[in-house]
Chains A and B, each alone.
Chain A
């Protein structure tokens, strides 16, 4: 069974530029998560989709971050414009069910460096 795929693996941009990350969850998984993991910290949930609807985006900086999950499958996360403090690893995860009791399967992450 294929795991959660993310691309790109690494991205370096200058501040005020825009960037997009892509995630393809495990086939059949209803719930998709995007996390931000700053160096030395635990992952912080940015947005959670259930199929193609948003369940929780309370910690998403909506003035600069946006995310979509078209057709309830793969997803993109965009940052526009980027700030220095956005430097982090962006993790995508998926789970088969719609409850927080389900195991989440994580992708390898995209490491973003903002100069």
Chain B
């Protein structure tokens, strides 16, 4: 079965501290993996994607994610949180390039 699990529904960090949003997936095929961000009252926007090239993927706004096949994980990180990072983040898997499965989302809160 194909699925994606975001391990935290909410994450709260202080401005300037690291961000870690966790994502595990299940896929019978070589997956493509994505992180999308949804700011309040704005559309979903792609942060980064993995499609079987380099396992460490860099995205926009200083975010990056590492594909770890042995752990079936694709965690999203950022060294230093900014207030503008507060949003809902979605991990997405596309098994073998077919279908699109979204995780339930992780809401990131950034405290001043």
Instruction: Tell me, in angstroms, the Cα distance from A42 to B104 when the chains sit together.
Output: 4
Contact present for A42 and B43 (CB under 8 Å): no
Instruction: Tell me, in angstroms, the Cα distance from A35 to B102 when the chains sit together.
Output: 10
Which listed segment binds B: A18-26, A61-69, A73-81, A96-104? A96-104
Residue of B nearest to A91 (CB): B44
Number of residues on chain A facing chain B (CB within 8 A): 23
Q: Which residues of A contact B94 (CB under 8 A)?
A: 100-101
Q: Which residues of B contact A33 (CB under 8 A)?
A: 100
Contact present for A103 and B46 (CB under 8 Å): yes
Residue A48 CB within 8 A of the other chain: yes
Contact present for B43 and A100 (CB under 8 Å): no
Instruction: Tell me, in angstroms, the Cα distance from A106 to B100 when the chains sit together.
Output: 14
Contact present for A100 and B90 (CB under 8 Å): no
Contact of B32 among A35, A42, A56, A100 (CB under 8 A): A100
Residue B18 CB within 8 A of the other chain: no
Contact present for A104 and B43 (CB under 8 Å): no
Residue of A nearest to B91 (CB): A42
Interface residues on B, range: 20 to 34
Contact present for A42 and B44 (CB under 8 Å): no
Residue B79 CB within 8 A of the other chain: no
Instruction: Tell me, in angstroms, the Cα distance from A104 to B94 when the chains sit together.
Output: 12
Kindly provide the distance from the CB of A45 to the nearest chain B CB, expressed in whole angstroms: 5
Residue B97 CB within 8 A of the other chain: yes
Instruction: Tell me, in angstroms, the Cα distance from A42 to B94 when the chains sit together.
Output: 15
Binding site for B on A (CB under 8 A): 3-4, 33, 35, 40-45, 48, 56, 91, 93, 99-101, 103-104, 106-109
Q: List 25 A-B contacts (CB under 8 A).
A: A3-B43, A4-B43, A33-B100, A40-B105, A41-B104, A42-B104, A43-B90, A43-B102, A45-B99, A45-B102, A48-B100, A56-B98, A56-B99, A91-B44, A99-B97, A100-B100, A101-B49, A101-B51, A101-B94, A101-B97, A103-B46, A106-B44, A106-B45, A107-B43, A109-B43
